[in-house]
Structure 1
């Protein structure tokens, strides 16, 4: 009941057919974008996997078709200005993902049979920190769609001149500010605290299967990944303990704010991780920590995991991003 242990398979894309596309005059207010055939891009040194979030030439079932250029004449009529959360799209066969991660499973597709066939509605967007480009247009943002398919879509698929959706909150409904990745202990603890009230003033509920509005899993390791600013949807508890690009072991007595106590043994029903904030006394008999726990959700409470008389399976680790 503690943490998620599975990983999402990465998507692949297939080349579009250069001869199937036509070049047309573009409306002056839109981004000027030319669709490139993927082998040409790959020859220039850009891997095909860099387009995993686009997948214009792939379907959930594996069928392929060619795409069309990002221009006004690829659709019938002119593009009307976007309403508050209603936007036009361009091109064909854009994959909608399960989470704000281009490597997460596909849950649907927009413009499946025609360019600009679907308009999308979105209630928030996530800055993933991972750039997706198509031609000269790039964005690190993924929009959370409420229609016509529920899921996450790269903002590059939206027919707007910006790299993000105008007027749509970033990483949280109601304009809730996005906790930005940072390198300091204070910033990490501040991000951890956001989940205490992120659910309309209440804590984020626990789940190994669901992701929160910021794209992170709602289990303990997803929560810690969010606090550390790791890529969505987050690594698992074993990864937090064993990946030396993320943490390193430290002595128990040297714990500092933002360090972790991790039980990486057993399975996803027994493994757990918490974020150390401070010692509660000079004798170090308890500490205050941030935690995402089953049957409760996000918590900020006194713990003894890893201390004498407490659960000995928990070991102390220090995020290497702190540089000490």
Structure 2
């Protein structure tokens, strides 16, 4: 069944993409972020748990689009294992797949400039394992899907770690900030909106909780007085008379507490690090201060 196989030089990995140019694959990877993310069913995978070290943690499968033709589905998470079926056997991109976990095989599969070492465990339309290269997403692994053998992410253990993680998105897009989107997910699997950004900084499970969850889940945060804000605390507008929003407090700008510096993922700009007055007298009164429970103080 592997009639279009090629071999990746030097690593012994067999590729089984269908007909289609490398240019087309690269173009898809560049043009499909919004389309692919729209097909992921973000709300359906928001509660996905992460696999424990002993094996995959079964969850409801998430749905993804594919591209190309004649991608072989294998019996095991190894491209050299027997074929058990095929995706897009009759037409390019005909089949969508559902997957409940993925495996980092350590063996890179490439088609054109797109590569991945991950294989997804399919629950449909065929049961088995498929290279993630066949999935029409811009990432090298499936966003929001647990990785077998990976330890579950834990909330950031220190304020310094959280602020350092928040700063990474300022230059993550080839030196530029990560763009804002409520539908897309970034390469690390987190949603590119304000609550997805905060979830990333806290190392919460991908693709991230929502703004209301950050304010109401006492397993994540607790209210604190405004004057007690410290670096890594949050200011959250969870009522949304205008728009629901959350920012990460870094430091007060002066002794009078008239403004503060914060990390923010905002519409029309993306990741930002700037002075704000949300929640302060004379500022947006809908914002309330909260402290992540991961911090011991």
Shorter-chain TM-score tier: 0.5 to 0.7
1:290 aligns with 2:290: no
Contact (CA 8 Å) 1:219, 1:292: kept in 2 or not? Answer: yes
**DSSP-derived class of the 1:7 partner:** helix
Contact (CA 8 Å) 2:75, 2:81: kept in 1 or not? Answer: no
Partner of 2:203: 229
Question: In the superposition, relative to structure 1, how do residues 94 and 276 fare at CA in structure 2: closer, same or farther (>3 Å)?
Answer: farther
1:189 aligns with 2:169: no
Contact (CA 8 Å) 2:109, 2:116: kept in 1 or not? Answer: no
Partner of 1:272: 245
Partner of 1:323: 296
Equivalent residues in 2 for 1:14-53, closer than 5 Å:
50-52=57-59
In the alignment, the residues of structure 1 paired with residue 147 and residue 85 of structure 2 have an alpha-carbon distance, to the nearest angstrom, of 14
Aligned length: 209
Compare the two structures and name the one with the higher strand fraction.
Answer: 2
Question: In the superposition, relative to structure 1, how do residues 189 and 120 fare at CA in structure 2: closer, same or farther (>3 Å)?
Answer: same
Deviation track 1:52-78 (CA, whole Å, cap 9, x = no partner) reads: 3789xx999xxxxxx98649xxxxxxx
Equivalent residues in 2 for 1:210-229, closer than 5 Å:
210-229=184-203
Contact (CA 8 Å) 1:285, 1:307: kept in 2 or not? Answer: yes
TM-score by structure 1 length? 0.54
In the alignment, the residues of structure 2 paired with residue 124 and residue 283 of structure 1 have an alpha-carbon distance, to the nearest angstrom, of 52
Contact (CA 8 Å) 2:247, 2:262: kept in 1 or not? Answer: yes
Contact (CA 8 Å) 1:286, 1:303: kept in 2 or not? Answer: yes
Question: In the superposition, relative to structure 1, how do residues 189 and 51 fare at CA in structure 2: closer, same or farther (>3 Å)?
Answer: same
> Which runs of 5 or more residues in structure 1 are unaligned?
1-5, 13-45, 61-66, 72-78, 80-86, 96-105, 111-118, 127-131, 133-142, 157-162, 165-178
1:147 aligns with 2:138: no
TM-score by structure 2 length? 0.59
In the alignment, the residues of structure 2 paired with residue 283 and residue 10 of structure 1 have an alpha-carbon distance, to the nearest angstrom, of 40
Equivalent residues in 2 for 1:1-324, closer than 5 Å:
7-8=43-44, 50-52=57-59, 70=76, 92=84, 107-108=96-97, 121=110, 123=115, 145-147=132-134, 149-150=136-137, 152=142, 182-266=156-240, 270-324=243-297
